[in-house]
Structure 1
């Protein structure tokens, strides 16, 4: 019985790598769960392997906990799919998407075929682990993570609750600093307006008077 050694890396975090030995007769579900024993993620998430080209173009899908539309379409299930049924190349590649709700994409590549099993090893077996898997932001802790990464947002929430409007306050403070009373200024403006109208009327009366003189 052959042993497959797969190299698994995050598509967006290529410094995080796992290498896993697994029996050729084990299933994609076994590989899926082995990957997440090594990342610390929950394996009970809807995920899929895709038979891939050398350029990571996705082909046939092999799914775990698929949504109903995939079931209706007759998608291949991981628990029913042995690895050796999908290995057509000694460097076979699979594109792997973990957790479709908040997905991480992986590159999975067959890097070695070992012809004999080791009776002292329980497969799947983690051969190599490099880098720490990135943390998953779940819906129930997203707000807490956002606040901790942007503490200013908490301050603005507090100010908004107090009906604080920074722009108006700055303008009022600036006017007060120059000794301007906004209420008096408004009253003065009304008086100036009245005076202007009065002068305008007087000028009109003077013109009428001059015409009578002539």
Structure 2
């Protein structure tokens, strides 16, 4: 079977930017990563991760390109995870983050499951809409009440008053 995904750049601009991609359900998340990066014109050399998501686009379990856990925990890897292990008719949404310095973020949703078309090479870029901006869109993070956060970390320290900070500046 063939999965048809729409990968939408998560941005706050007025212009939509998305790609429709077909890929075999048995291909890996690494194959989907490669298809997304190529379709948006990235070189594919930056770190990236997929996150399983729910209907509200909440970020869930991470599936990473590389195991950077240093053996502390088990990590799912893109090249070891088939698409049909994480995406199906009832679980259709993934969040894809490319280049953790720039934080290119894409909402990836399974739109349709179809039969494989004879003579078609997969992955297949079906449709491209919009141009990706030169830089990643800025992310806005919101909290219910920032004043509460400030109170939680209030310590009355003046970070510009170096003489009264409690540390040895010549610790090396």
In the superposition, the TM-score normalised over structure 2's length comes to: 0.72
Counterpart contact for 1:21–1:126, Cα < 8 Å: yes
Counterpart contact for 1:90–1:113, Cα < 8 Å: no
Q: CA deviation at 1:100?
A: 0.8
Runs of 4+ that moved beyond 6 A = none
Counterpart contact for 2:69–2:75, Cα < 8 Å: no
Counterpart contact for 1:53–1:93, Cα < 8 Å: yes
Larger Rg: 1
Q: Does residue 1:26 correspond to 2:34, yes or no? A: no
Structure in which a larger fraction of residues adopt helix? 1
> Which deviates more from structure 2 when the two are superposed, residues 11-20 or residues 49-58?
11-20
- The secondary structure found in structure 2 opposite 1:84 is helix
Q: Which residue of 2 aligns with 1:85?
A: 85
Counterpart contact for 2:54–2:91, Cα < 8 Å: no
Q: CA deviation at 1:91?
A: 6.0
Q: Does residue 1:94 correspond to 2:94, yes or no? A: yes
Counterpart contact for 2:20–2:128, Cα < 8 Å: yes
Q: CA deviation at 1:118?
A: 1.5
Q: Which residue of 1 aligns with 2:116?
A: 117
Q: Following the alignment from structure 1 to structure 2, what is the Cα–Cα distance between the partners of residues 43 and 109? A: 20
Distance 1:46 1:119, change over 3 A: same
Alignment gaps of 5+ in structure 1: 138-214
1:48-67 equivalences under 5 Å are: 48-66=49-67
Q: Following the alignment from structure 2 to structure 1, what is the Cα–Cα distance between the partners of residues 131 and 70? A: 32
Counterpart contact for 1:46–1:99, Cα < 8 Å: yes
Q: Which residue of 1 aligns with 2:16?
A: 15
Structure in which a larger fraction of residues adopt strand? 2
RMSD, aligned α-carbons: 1.8
Q: Following the alignment from structure 1 to structure 2, what is the Cα–Cα distance between the partners of residues 125 and 104? A: 22
Q: CA deviation at 1:90?
A: 4.7
Superposed CA offset, 1:91-143 (max 9, x none) = 610011111122111100000110x2122111000001000112248xxxxxx
Q: Which residue of 1 aligns with 2:105?
A: 105
Distance 1:121 1:72, change over 3 A: farther
Q: CA deviation at 1:44?
A: 1.8
Alignment gaps of 5+ in structure 2: 137-172
Q: Following the alignment from structure 1 to structure 2, what is the Cα–Cα distance between the partners of residues 24 and 36? A: 18
1:199-210 equivalences under 5 Å are: none
Counterpart contact for 1:23–1:124, Cα < 8 Å: yes
Question: Higher relative CO (CA 8 A, sep ≥ 6), structure 1 or 2?
Answer: 2
Q: CA deviation at 1:51?
A: 0.7
